[in-house]
Structure 1
Amino acid sequence: MLLFDISTTFMVSVCIILMMMTNETQTDDDDKMTTTAQPKDETCETLHNHNGAKLNILAVGRTPTRMLLITMDFYVYDVPIDSIDTAINKLYLRTKPIPMSEKYPVLFNDQRFQQIKDVIFNSFIMTDADSEWICITTKSSETRYPGINYDIKNPNVYYGWKFFDYWREVLISTIETCIYYALRHNQGNLEITRYQCRGGDRIRTRPRIIRLMSFRPICFDSTGQKITVERHRCRSANPVRWPVLKGFTDGGKFYLFGQYYIYIFDENVFREQGSSYPVTKRSYDSFFNCAGYIPAGQVSRSLFLWIIVAILLLLLILLMILWCILAAAHHHRRHRSSLSLDKKTARSGFEGGGGGVGVGPPRNRSMMLTHGLSMRSRLQTRKLSSNSKNITTKPGAVSCTTAVSGRSMPATVRTGFNHRASSNNPSNRFKSLTPRIQSSRNR
């Protein structure tokens, strides 16, 4: 009963805490407003609701340790690498975006960055042998300043690269060391190539970036459902014309951001030129998951409450285990008690039913002994009376006879209760008394 009361108390406590957690913390404003909805991430909403307007992404890509997305208005999402689910093609932005001035103050406050931040040609995420980098390039026709490279792990700014060609290229981030892809539109047809560091694999030494091959056209196959990369021109006469604005690779897939859709296909399209692979189109609202964020105060409060709930649940489980153990022990004792009672009942029935002398229970045995003594006493009394009548007396022996008669009762009683002191035959006792009677008569 006590365990049941304790368990009930714990359950009530858990329910109260869960109810507390469902209520939003009251604000300290003058209104004292209470809301059950988390604040919306307006920055993520600009990605989520993209509908052909200018894409609010400056750079996006993955490194061995993080997934980065930097917006055009210089906000940074730094999320775990498992934030992108390549199985369902969805990117979860679960954290609050941080202004670049707070996330990367060394980069944002650097004079070189301030000089080029309004004339950035391309920006992408890159990995080398030592660190992870944010690479920002400029175009020679637009500014005289070179680009910059920012070391994420060891905050420092280095001079970067400037683009001297007239093409409008879109650079695609990869997780491979000192490698990235480039896309361009040639008369409306989408083409692809690959760049690699030359003269070293450490970006801080500012190696030269070279193109590994000429641009190759991306084409639909004869079915129009799959794409392939051709060497010179599309054999199907059906080139791909997606207006790609940004992109990155992850998990062996391309993620290319167009005006209305995100195009997803296997990276082997480039590696196995001439082989066709299917394409998946995802809308922006289905690709970006803007789950909102929890303010810091609510995070700590929620964590504290969850810890309390976990402790209470563990205690409740321990109490339930203890109750089960006690219930099992009680059931075992009752089972053993019932077995013992059944054995005693069977023994009593067997002993009570026996007819042998000394076999019955102690009470019946004492009754049998008492009955036997009474029978002996009556037999001895009768024999004593018959013997007293057969005694031959002389004149003046009346008083002696009376004395014998008067003393015969005590003798009888003594013989009945002290049968061990006397002989087994009561007549022998009276024979021993005969000389005493005669001596009395001689007096």
Structure 2
Amino acid sequence: MLIELDTIHFVWWIYLWSILSIDFINTINETESNQICHSLANDEVEAQGSNELNILAVGLTRKHLLLITKDFHVYELAKGSLDSSINRLYLNAKPTPMSVKYPTLFESSRFNTIKTQLFNGFFIIDKTTDWLCITTWDKKTDEGGIKYDLINDKVQSGYRFVGDQEEVLISTKESCMFYSLRHSQKNNGLEIAIYKCQGNKIKMTHPFRLICYGDKQKMTIIIKNYNEICKNDAIEWPILNGFVADDRFYLLDKTDVQIFSEDAYKKANKPVSIDKRKYSSFFVCPGSISESFFAKNRSFLIIMMIILFILSFILCCILMIRVENHPIFRRHFGKTMRSVFRFRKRTADLTIDEDISKTEATSNTPTSLLLDHRPKLIFNPFNRIKFLPTTRSLKFDCRPKILSKHHIVSKIKINRTKINKKLYSKRYLKILL
């Protein structure tokens, strides 16, 4: 079977494209951007040789989810990049150096003064704009913090933390509000409080409350009411950063991402479940496939498989049609096909000759044997009615001239040169009766 070369090339290009696509998905290109992403998705947090998370600030703005690393790269992600149904953050944007993304901030003298003494980074949404707030701690420097207007591209004086105990500030989507986490001085358990901005200051509006495990198996947590203590073990996660999105806390510690509902804070003493994720499972870098990729895209993959199957079937049909109509195919196989048709025609002619021989043989057989062939020839009430109309005599209707115009003579092509016309009319008259 011969196929045109361009068709063969087309098929091979399809297979080659499929193989290269699969290989591209499973291969990680170690570019600078991917190195930054994989440094975040590392299960053991190491940034510049220290046991710290390479995240300066992460949280929601009006339009995006922003993540800024400590080496000053900016991920500007769509809000849909965070899939709260499976707790995955897809870092599907290329990180941009802060010097390119926010040159006004990066080149400001105030930022260059404090960028080696940063204490906390978080986002604030107020009534007019979005702010990136970078604070300092008065125990380490006398310099104040900085506020950067993300929408209007302006740098302003920011906040300086004056507390005695180190705290981690957690961004939220609420207007001018964020959480603060610290470890209790009594039992080293984790505590949580709410801060709000008031003019040029940030003040605590709700005191710290203790975070405890809700059961002995440590599968749930409870945030106690004010001045209450834990009935089970107190939580001692080493939280380094975090944010709130889709009514969930995403708290980043040294090894895991701790995820639980915000209802734990809003409803005191209500146990909520904990979902613990490794960084390699929570952060999904471009070119990598998470463990739930196929489960998440099951419907899409099934549709693609069906489409590919249909296209393959159509391609096979087209190839078959082109092969049968190809000049070389007709030249080599046309004679064979014509011989098959001729063979069938000769077989049909032999069958007709055998029927004629049988008809001749009936002239010398008794009437009882001829009646055995009656169903084959005329045992049909419609033919009987057609051959024997009531307005004509039987003798007139059974003449050979009349019979030659109807079903019997048309079905059996009788060779009149071999059959006696008189014998034929007499014998078949008996059959009709």
Question: The TM-score by the shorter chain falls in which range?
Answer: 0.5 to 0.7
Partner of 2:374: none
Partner of 1:276: 271
Q: Does 1:70 align with 2:68?
A: yes
Alpha-carbon distance in 1 for matches of 2:215, 2:14: 62
Pairing 1:303-322 to 2, within 5 Å after superposition: none
CA contact (8 A) 1:23 1:36 kept: no
Alpha-carbon distance in 2 for matches of 1:90, 1:13: 39
Alpha-carbon distance in 1 for matches of 2:164, 2:265: 24
**Secondary structure of 1:82 counterpart:** helix
CA contact (8 A) 1:218 1:234 kept: no
TM-score, normalised relative to structure 1:
0.59
Partner of 2:109: 111
Q: 1:11 to 1:147 in 2, by over 3 A?
A: farther
Partner of 1:211: 204
CA contact (8 A) 1:139 1:163 kept: yes
Q: Alignment identity in percent?
A: 37
Q: Does 1:132 align with 2:125?
A: no
Alpha-carbon distance in 2 for matches of 1:107, 1:117: 11
**Secondary structure of 2:37 counterpart:** helix
1:236 to 211, 214, 231: 231
Alpha-carbon distance in 1 for matches of 2:57, 2:182: 17
**Secondary structure of 1:286 counterpart:** helix
In structure 2, the gaps of 5 or more residues are 46-50, 289-307, 319-382, 389-395, 406-433
Residue identity opposite 1:148 in structure 2: I
Residue identity opposite 2:251 in structure 1: L
CA contact (8 A) 1:255 1:264 kept: yes
Q: 1:22 to 1:106 in 2, by over 3 A?
A: farther
Q: 1:118 to 1:49 in 2, by over 3 A?
A: same
Partner of 2:250: 255
Partner of 1:142: 140
Alpha-carbon distance in 2 for matches of 1:133, 1:92: 23
Q: CA RMSD in A?
A: 4.1
Residue identity opposite 1:79 in structure 2: L
CA contact (8 A) 1:79 1:95 kept: yes
Cα deviation code 1:131-169 (max 9, x no counterpart):
222111111222222211112222221211111111201
Q: 1:21 to 1:241 in 2, by over 3 A?
A: same
Cα deviation code 1:39-74 (max 9, x no counterpart):
131112212124252111111112232121111111
Cα deviation code 1:383-422 (max 9, x no counterpart):
xxxxxxxxxxxxxxxxxxxxxxxxxxxxxxxxxxxxxxxx
In structure 1, the gaps of 5 or more residues are 25-33, 200-206, 294-312, 324-348, 363-443
Pairwise CA distance, 1:221: 2.6
Alpha-carbon distance in 2 for matches of 1:361, 1:9: 60
2:29 to 39, 44, 54: 39
**Secondary structure of 1:119 counterpart:** coil
CA contact (8 A) 2:43 2:256 kept: no
2:13 to 16, 25, 42: 16
**Secondary structure of 2:92 counterpart:** coil
Q: 1:144 to 1:223 in 2, by over 3 A?
A: same
Cα deviation code 1:102-134 (max 9, x no counterpart):
121111111111111011110012222222221
Residue identity opposite 1:161 in structure 2: Y
Partner of 2:341: none
CA contact (8 A) 2:27 2:287 kept: no
Pairing 1:293-332 to 2, within 5 Å after superposition: none
1:246 to 241, 246, 255: 241
Structure 1 residue runs of 4 or more that deviate by more than 4 Å after TM superposition: 8-12, 20-24, 352-356, 359-362
Q: Does 1:194 align with 2:194?
A: yes
Residue identity opposite 1:278 in structure 2: S
CA contact (8 A) 1:96 1:292 kept: no
Pairing 1:150-165 to 2, within 5 Å after superposition: 150-165=148-163
Alpha-carbon distance in 2 for matches of 1:222, 1:36: 41
Residue identity opposite 2:173 in structure 1: I
Q: 1:136 to 1:10 in 2, by over 3 A?
A: farther
Asked which structure has the greater CA Rg, the reply is 1
CA contact (8 A) 1:229 1:275 kept: yes
Alpha-carbon distance in 1 for matches of 2:60, 2:8: 45
Residue identity opposite 1:69 in structure 2: L
**Secondary structure of 1:102 counterpart:** helix
Q: 1:65 to 1:13 in 2, by over 3 A?
A: farther
Partner of 2:171: 173
CA contact (8 A) 2:210 2:230 kept: no
Alpha-carbon distance in 2 for matches of 1:47, 1:69: 11
Cα deviation code 1:178-208 (max 9, x no counterpart):
1110001123111000111224xxxxxxx32
Pairwise CA distance, 1:222: 4.4
Alpha-carbon distance in 2 for matches of 1:156, 1:10: 61
**Secondary structure of 1:144 counterpart:** coil
**Secondary structure of 1:175 counterpart:** coil
Residue identity opposite 1:91 in structure 2: L
CA contact (8 A) 1:95 1:292 kept: no
Q: Does 1:49 align with 2:39?
A: no
Pairwise CA distance, 1:238: 2.2
Q: 1:14 to 1:182 in 2, by over 3 A?
A: farther
Partner of 1:391: none
Pairing 1:290-369 to 2, within 5 Å after superposition: 290-292=285-287
Residue identity opposite 1:86 in structure 2: S
Alpha-carbon distance in 2 for matches of 1:272, 1:44: 36
Pairwise CA distance, 1:23: 4.8
CA contact (8 A) 2:77 2:93 kept: yes
CA contact (8 A) 1:244 1:258 kept: yes
CA contact (8 A) 1:123 1:135 kept: yes
